[in-house]
Amino acid sequence: MPNDVFGSLDPRGPVAAEMADVWWFMFGLGLVVFILFAVLLVSGLFRDKGSDRGMGSSSHRWIVGGGVVLPVVVVTVVFGVTLAAMRILPVGGSGDAVVVDVIGHQWWWEVHYPDHDVTTANEIHMPVGRPVELRLSSADVIHSFWVPSLGGKLDLLPDRVNTMEFSADEPGEYRGVCAEFCGTQHAKMGFLAVAESPAEFEAWLATQSQQAAEPVGEVAARGREVFSEVGCADCHTIEGTDAVGTTGPDLTHLATRETLAAATLPNTPEHLADWVGDPQEIKEGVNMPDLPIGEEDMAALLAYLEGLE
């Protein structure tokens, strides 16, 4: 999605900024070391050796100077910078942090706001300037949570909860991905971290904690029936209806989300039709089956889903 901010060196939060600083420092140092090496190598290879008598005893000074002193100094400095950064980087548990539970699935992200009783998927909303404490775990295999422009990675494990903290300095939609190979569709397991003003964030929470919107009109009402009949409800939950499946993402407020299929497609009616109609074409190997749904029923189903605001 073209307008998303993405990239480790395009930091939009203090954590990613600190990491980028460490990088730029090491990059500068590394460049100096490489140039030094390259000059020594090239001049050694091509210098004029007409009256050369070798360097005799100075050879060992090369090893001591270049091979010991130089790396010891460089490594000590880099290690110092590393430790300093590790001290600064938050590990979670700030008092005013927004707590978000993220559970990895093959191949989507389940997202809970435990303090607000909100459940969503593949989208993490956060107020600008306030830290977010992410409590990460997995429902199946190991995944890794990564929003390059906001911070580093942390793995989602099936047998423990890992905690990390980051925040965004400015509003924006920051793309995140799964960074640990997790099976067939590892490539299409993305999400969005949406940073917005505190007011917008509160409003979003308020919407999301509601039950699902009632279908408007007959077609959409028929769509709700189709949802149960063809089996969607076996895997998906829609709060306030009898759909309580937990294998797939919660769809209570599907229409408010930016993307479909774990940040694979923008959430437009056309893409929704493509996705529901033929998920295996969009995301080969995904656990969502191609269901045999008649044309009329499909139109109803889509109308219902599009109304889930």
Site for another protein in 152-191 (CB under 8 A): 152-155, 157-160, 162, 175, 177-188
Question: How many other C-beta atoms are found inside a 10 Å radius of the C-beta of residue 266?
Answer: 13
- Minimum Å gap between C-beta 218 and another protein is 37
- Contact call for residue 146 and another protein (CB under 8 A): yes
Instruction: Kindly tell me which of 139 and 219 has the beta carbon lying closer to another protein.
Output: 139
> Within 242-281, which residues bind another protein (CB under 8 A)?
264
Report the C-alpha gap between 287 and 280 in whole angstroms. Answer: 9
Range in contact with another protein (rule: CB under 8 A) among 82-90, 115-123, 270-278, 289-297? 82-90
Residues 152/19, Cβ–Cβ less than 8 Å:
yes
> Within 20-39, which residues bind another protein (CB under 8 A)?
20, 22-23, 26-27, 30, 33-34, 37-38
* SS3 state at 176: strand
Report the C-alpha gap between 145 and 218 in whole angstroms. Answer: 41
- Contact call for residue 67 and another protein (CB under 8 A): yes
Report the C-alpha gap between 190 and 298 in whole angstroms. Answer: 26
- Contact call for residue 49 and another protein (CB under 8 A): yes
- Minimum Å gap between C-beta 25 and another protein is 9
Encode 11-42 in three state secondary structure.
CCCHHHHHHHHHHHHHHHHHHHHHHHHHHHHH
Binding mask 199-238 for another protein (x = CB under 8 A): ----------------------------------------
Radius of gyration of the chain (CA): 26
Q: Which one among 99, 142, 219, 291 touches another protein, defined by CB under 8 A?
A: 142
Cα pseudo-dihedral 198, 200, 206, 212, rounded to 10: -150
Which residues are CB-neighbours of 52 under 8 A, at least 6 positions away? none
Q: Pairing mode, if any, of strands 265-266 and 190-196?
A: unpaired
- Minimum Å gap between C-beta 183 and another protein is 6
Range in contact with another protein (rule: CB under 8 A) among 79-87, 201-209, 213-221, 227-235? 79-87
Give the position of tokens 């909100």: 118
- Contact call for residue 151 and another protein (CB under 8 A): yes
Range in contact with another protein (rule: CB under 8 A) among 87-95, 110-118, 215-223, 241-249? 87-95
Q: Two tokens at 14? A: 């203090």
Question: How many other C-beta atoms are found inside a 10 Å radius of the C-beta of residue 135?
Answer: 17
- Contact call for residue 289 and another protein (CB under 8 A): no
Q: Which one among 127, 131, 148, 249 touches another protein, defined by CB under 8 A?
A: 148
- Contact call for residue 297 and another protein (CB under 8 A): no
- Contact call for residue 291 and another protein (CB under 8 A): no
By rule CB under 8 A, what count of residues binds another protein?
87
